[in-house]
C-alpha cells in the first residue's frame, strides 16, 4: 500500500493510514504467497490512471486470476495475464468506469470482494451478477460490512450485487476483530489432546464463515463454551461427521486432523474450490494425513477420513501452504514421535505468532530450522 502512495504509521494500539492521493506503483508489486493481497490490489490498481504489475511467489503464480481480469476489463479497466494463461504475473490498467458484469462464484470469493471494494469509486454504478455455485459467501459479507463502515451501502438483489458509483470512502476508525480461521488451530489442538484452550479477542457476532468452528467442534463432540469475546474448548468423545466446507475452505485441513481422532467416518463435501488454494488442498491434506498414519481418501470435492487413528512421526511436505503446515503441526501434538514439516515459516502469511502461541500452550519442542 505504501507503493501505491499510502502513508501508514504505527500507533500505540494499531496503524494510522493516510491515502489522499494513490498512484500506480513504480515497481511491480510482489504479493508473495498472499492471494488476498494480489486480488484485492488488482481492484485498487484498476482505479488508477496507469499500469500496475502484480505477481507473487511460485505458489501464487499457479492460482487463477482470469475471471477477475475479465471482469475488470468489462467494467472499463484493462486486466491481462503476462503469460496469457490467466495466472500471475498480471498487468492492470485503469480507469474503472463501472457497468454490468457476470462473475463465476465457484473459484474464489476474493474476485467479488475486489470488485465490491473498487466499484464504488468508479464513475458509474455497477451490477455484478454471481454465477452459481457460490463459494465462501461469508467472506463477501465481511467485505460488505467493511465497505459499509466506510460509508457505502451495497445492495444484494438475489444473485446480483448493486454497487453505487461516483462515491468517496469516508475515513473512519476500525477495530480489527480476531480471526476465527487462526483460532481454529489451538482450539482443535485442545480437542485432540485432552487439552483446555481459551482464545480471546473473538467477535462472536462477526459474519466470518469460520466462526462455524464452534458449532463444528460441538458436533464432533468437543466441549465448547462461548462467553463474550472468548471461546473455550476442551476434549470430549469425538464422533465422525459430514462437513460441508463450501463456505469454510480454510477450516478444511485442521478439521481433517480433528477427524483422525474421531470415531467412525468423516466426509468433507462441496470443497471442489479447495484445489485452487495455496496448494491443491485436497491432495496436500490427504497426503499429510496418510504420512501420519491416518486412513484418508480424496474425493472430487473433499475427502473421507476414518478414525480414530494412532498417528506417528513423519516428514510432511506442506507444499508452501500455511494452513497445511499448521494443521500438520497440530497433528504432531497427537503423534507418537516428532513431525518434521517443510516450508517451516509459511505460517507467517496468516498467523505470525502461531509458533509462539503453540509453545505457550505446551508444545515445548516446536523448533524451526
**What totals of helices (H) and strands (E) does the chain contain, helices first?**
10, 19
* pLDDT averaged per 10 residues, the chain (length 369): 96 93 95 93 97 94 94 97 95 96 88 97 97 84 95 94 96 92 97 95 90 97 94 97 94 98 98 90 98 97 97 95 96 93 91 93 68
Q: Tell me what pLDDT residue 135 has.
A: 75
Q: Tell me what pLDDT residue 250 has.
A: 94
> What range defines the domain where residue 89 resides?
7-163
Question: How many structural domains is the chain composed of?
Answer: 2
Catalytic residue among 179, 210, 250, 321: 250
Residue 194 lies in a domain: yes
Q: Tell me what pLDDT residue 368 has.
A: 60
Final residue in a domain of this structure, among 93, 128, 163: 163
Q: Tell me what pLDDT residue 364 has.
A: 60
Q: Tell me what pLDDT residue 278 has.
A: 86
Q: Tell me what pLDDT residue 206 has.
A: 87
Q: Tell me what pLDDT residue 158 has.
A: 85
Q: Are residues 236 and 154 in the same domain?
A: no
Q: Buried (b) or exposed (e) across 285-320, using 16+ Cβ within 10 A?
A: bbbbbebbbbebebeebbbbbbbbbebeebebbbbb
Q: Buried (b) or exposed (e) across 72-92, using 16+ Cβ within 10 A?
A: bbebbbebbbeeeebbbbbbb
Is 250 catalytic? The answer is: yes
Q: Are residues 122 and 233 in the same domain?
A: no
Q: Are residues 194 and 323 in the same domain?
A: yes
Residue 289 lies in a domain: yes
Is cis: bond before 217, omega within 30 of 0?
Answer: no
Q: Are residues 196 and 96 in the same domain?
A: no
Q: Tell me what pLDDT residue 369 has.
A: 59
CATH number of domain containing 97: 3.65.10.10
Residue 168 lies in a domain: no
Q: Tell me what pLDDT residue 105 has.
A: 82
Residues 155 and 80: their CA atoms lie apart, in Å, by: 29
Amino acid at each position: 500500500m505504501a507503493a501505491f502512495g499510502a502513508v501508514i504509521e504505527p500507533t500505540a494500539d494499531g496503524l494510522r493510514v493516510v491515502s489522499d492521493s494513490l498512484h500506480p506503483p513504480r515497481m511491480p508489486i510482489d504479493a508473495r504467497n498472499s492471494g488476498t493481497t494480489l486480488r484485492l490490489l488488482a481492484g485498487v490498481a484498476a482505479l488508477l490512471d496507469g499500469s500496475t504489475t502484480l505477481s507473487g511467489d511460485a505458489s501464487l503464480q499457479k492460482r487463477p486470476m482470469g475471471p477477475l481480469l475479465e471482469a475488470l476489463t468489462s467494467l472499463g479497466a484493462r486486466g491481462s495475464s503476462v503469460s496469457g494463461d490467466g495466472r500471475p504475473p498480471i498487468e492492470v490498467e485503469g480507469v474503472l468506469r463501472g457497468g454490468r458484469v457476470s462473475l463465476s462464484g465457484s473459484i474464489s470469493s476474493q474476485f467479488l470482494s475486489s470488485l465490491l471494494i473498487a466499484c464504488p469509486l468508479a464513475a458509474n454504478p455497477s451490477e455484478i451478477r454471481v454465477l452459481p455455485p457460490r463459494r465462501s459467501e461469508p467472506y463477501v459479507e465481511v467485505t460488505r460490512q467493511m465497505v459499509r463502515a466506510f460509508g457505502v451501502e451495497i445492495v444484494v438483489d438475489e444473485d446480483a450485487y448493486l454497487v453505487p458509483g461516483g462515491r468517496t470512502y469516508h475515513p473512519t476508525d476500525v477495530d480489527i476483530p480476531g480471526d476465527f480461521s487462526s483460532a481454529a488451530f489451538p482450539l482443535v489442538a485442545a480437542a485432540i489432546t485432552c487439552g483446555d484452550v481459551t482464545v480471546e479477542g473473538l467477535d462472536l457476532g462477526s459474519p466470518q464463515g469460520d466462526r462455524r468452528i464452534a458449532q463444528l467442534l460441538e458436533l464432533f463432540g468437543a466441549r465448547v463454551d462461548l462467553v463474550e469475546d472468548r471461546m473455550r474448548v476442551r476434549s470430549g468423545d469425538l464422533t465422525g461427521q459430514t462437513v460441508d466446507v463450501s463456505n469454510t475452505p480454510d477450516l478444511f485441513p485442521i478439521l481433517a486432523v480433528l477427524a483422525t481422532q474421531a470415531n467412525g467416518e468423516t466426509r468433507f463435501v462441496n470443497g471442489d474450490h479447495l484445489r485452487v488454494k495455496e496448494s491443491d488442498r485436497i491432495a496436500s491434506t490427504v497426503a499429510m494425513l496418510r504420512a501420519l498414519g491416518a486412513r484418508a481418501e480424496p474425493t472430487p470435492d473433499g475427502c473421507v477420513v476414518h478414525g480414530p487413528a494412532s498417528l506417528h512421526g513423519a516428514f510432511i511436505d506442506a507444499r508452501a501452504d500455511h494452513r497445511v503446515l499448521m494443521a500438520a503441526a497440530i497433528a504432531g501434538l497427537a503423534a507418537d514421535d516428532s513431525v518434521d514439516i517443510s516450508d517451516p515459516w509459511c505460517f507467517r502469511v496468516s498467523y505470525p505468532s502461531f509458533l509462539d502461541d503453540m509453545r505457550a500452550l505446551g508444545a515445548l519442542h516446536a523448533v524451526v530450522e
